[in-house]
Amino acid sequence: MADEVKLFGMWASPYSRRVELALKLKGITYDYIEEDLSNKSSLLLKYNPVHQKIPVLVHNGKSISESLVILEYIDETWRNNPVLLPRDPYERSMARFWAKFIDEKILITTRKISFTTGKEQEQAMEELSEQLKLLENELKGKPYFAGEAIGYLDIVVANFLVFWFRNLQEALGINMFTKERFPIIFEWIEKVTTMDVVEVCRIPKERHLVYIRTRLEAIKSASR
């Protein structure tokens, strides 16, 4: 019996897109279900009753939530190449550490930048710059975060830094994430964007810019 794989996601979510990238890298056939997060489907609420968020992977009727957990599940379930997480216990723990750093530090700081102005926004941008320098140092001397080939941590970083954050930066009219400031990361970006599978998972830029600007305007209006 063939595996039945479904992914509940949202087109602009870097969390959702990272799961899509992992599935495509592994060559896994799946059905994608786009969710309207302002009107969540009964199936999404059924499969993720705790957080009621995307992404949710459903494999043969069993649901897995939280993107980092899903990535590990995909790697452990479909052991065909490419291997996503390092098999060495120390390297695997380091990949998990940096993935958590991205989700719990870098992404939270980008939200501060999105929803603040003036001095507060400047401080958040400086904080993000320091965090990105730490991330860049982890990449130093390697073609990919995972080493010689794209892997788990590259997937976690890819749609966030390659597409999502650069679109956010343009929508906000800021210019702190540049090739001059982060040459190692931008060299990595140039490498991963030559991969067809990464391009397929690209967040569509113009649609995303409209989406970001609309959301920011709605938040400003609600706070007036």
Structure tokens at 104: 């719990």
Comparing C-alpha atoms, which of 153, 41, 37, 172 is closest to residue 102?
A: 153
Q: Give the integer Cα–Cα distance in Å for 123 and 25.
A: 37
* Overall fold of domain 89-223: Glutathione S-transferase Yfyf (Class Pi); Chain A, domain 2 (1.20.1050)
- pLDDT score at 216: 84
Domain boundaries, the chain: 5-77, 89-223
C-alpha distances (whole Å) from 56 to each of 22, 39, 63, 88 are 14, 16, 7, 28
Strand partners for 65: 56
Long-range CB contacts for residues 70-75, cutoff 8 Å, separation at least 24: 70/19, 70/22, 71/18, 71/19, 71/22, 71/152, 71/155, 71/156, 72/152, 74/19, 74/22, 74/23, 74/26, 74/28, 75/22, 75/26, 75/152
Q: Per-residue pLDDT tens for 188-208?
A: 999 999 999 999 999 999 999
Q: Per-residue pLDDT tens for 126-168?
A: 999 999 999 999 999 999 999 999 999 999 999 888 899 999 9
Statement: residue 107 has pLDDT above 70: yes
Q: Do domains 5-77 and 89-223 have the same CATH topology?
A: no
* Overall fold of domain 5-77: Glutaredoxin (3.40.30)
Query: How many other C-beta atoms lie within 10 A of the C-beta of residue 69?
Result: 11
- pLDDT score at 218: 82
171 pLDDT band, cuts 50/70/90, is very high
Statement: residue 117 has pLDDT above 90: no
Share above pLDDT 70 across residues of the chain, in percent, rounded to a whole number: 99
Q: Per-residue pLDDT tens for 14-60?
A: 999 999 999 999 999 999 999 999 999 999 999 999 999 999 999 99
- pLDDT score at 1: 52
